[in-house]
Amino acid sequence: MTSESADGVVVTRNVWKIFGERADEAMAACRRENLSKAEVLDRFEAVVGVRDVSVSVEEGEIFCILQSQAMRARNGHDLAPERG
């Protein structure tokens, strides 16, 4: 994708999913301080699953998301880890 248009068939912007009890704090710090995944884990004991993903699919395009977390977060599904 070279550009995103607001009139795409499917448009998703700025999807985030962070796992952990302090996920909200971790996301705010990520945005404010541009933390790495390792820093988020160390400081907040949280795991970044999806970080600021934006997608625009135009008519006639075929697009596949290989990370299921991104699509599940886009669709509003609960992404609680199964274990760990």
Q: Where are the domains of the chain?
A: 10-74
In contact, 4 and 61? CB cutoff 8 Å: no
Nearest 5°: phi and psi at 28? -60, -40
In contact, 72 and 82? CB cutoff 8 Å: no
How does pLDDT run along the chain (84 residues), one tens digit per residue?
444 455 668 888 998 989 999 999 999 999 999 999 999 999 999 999 889 888 888 888 888 766 666 556 666 655 555 554
Q: What is the pLDDT of residue 53?
A: 87
In contact, 15 and 70? CB cutoff 8 Å: yes
